[in-house]
Amino acid sequence: MSRLTPDELARFRAGDEAIFRRVVDAFSPRLLAFLRPFASDLDEAHDLLQDMWHRAFDKRRTFSGSGTLLGWLYAISRSTGLAAGEKRSVRDRVAVEHTYHTGAPPANPDVATERAELRKSLGEALIELPEREREVVILRMIEQRSTRETAAALDCAEGTVKAALHHALKKLQSSMEAWVP
């Protein structure tokens, strides 16, 4: 549902509840993952998502339909996340346990502590990236989007996505050198 038909676009812009609900249902999981690094926990990420949907509804008349709906929603999500960051330091809010957590917690408390520290370091390194690079990493590496989908979502060229990912991964590698044996 990345593009709306002309009829759906007119209904969306008019505030049709059914079409807006379809859009919310279709894109909430992706947008929640996108907003997660801006929040200190999953509950706060859900709050940001709710705020983003309010903004999207308020701005629905501004969506022309010329780009992808997902790209438009990512732009609103980005501004929502950045606005939340203005209220307090992003570094103080970063916790990516839910985004990067895999499997059950280890039985050994030392291993659990080390994993938590690694997740925190990775989250901090991710937040330190320039905005475009961070968005590319989230879309390409976390959401597993293609280069084409990422370019469409960020309204840029595929080459820009590739270059941003290359630079971001080099910076992340440098930031995470302390964790490499």
Q: Are residues 83 and 114 in the same domain?
A: no
The arithmetic mean of pLDDT across residues 72-78, rounded, is 87
Tens of pLDDT along 41-73? 888 889 999 999 999 999 999 988 877 788 889
Q: Are residues 53 and 80 in the same domain?
A: yes
Q: Are residues 80 and 110 in the same domain?
A: no
Q: What pLDDT sits at residue 104?
A: 54
Query: Among the three residues 39, 71, 93, which one is the final residue of a domain in this structure?
Result: 93
Percentage of the chain lying above the pLDDT 90 cut: 31
Tens of pLDDT along 112-139? 677 777 777 777 787 788 888 888 888 8
For residue 88, pLDDT over 50 is answered with: no
Tens of pLDDT along 147-181? 998 888 888 899 999 999 999 999 988 888 877 66
b vs e for 101-134, b when ≥16 Cβ sit within 10 Å of the residue's Cβ?
eeeeeeeeeeeeeebeeebeebbebbbebeebbb
- pTM comes to 0.55
Q: Is residue 133 one of the residues assigned to a domain?
A: yes
Query: Among the three residues 58, 93, 128, which one is the final residue of a domain in this structure?
Result: 93
Q: Are residues 87 and 15 in the same domain?
A: yes
Dist CA 179 CA 181 (whole Å): 6
Q: Which of 90, 154, 80 is nearest to 125 (CA)?
A: 90
- Enumerate long-range contacts of 163-167, CB under 8 Å, 24 or more apart: 164/132, 164/133, 164/136, 165/133, 165/136, 165/137, 165/140, 165/141, 167/133
Helices (H), 15-157: 17-35, 42-58, 69-87, 90-93, 97-100, 109-128, 131-137, 147-154
Q: How confident is the model at residue 87 (pLDDT cuts 50, 70, 90)?
A: low
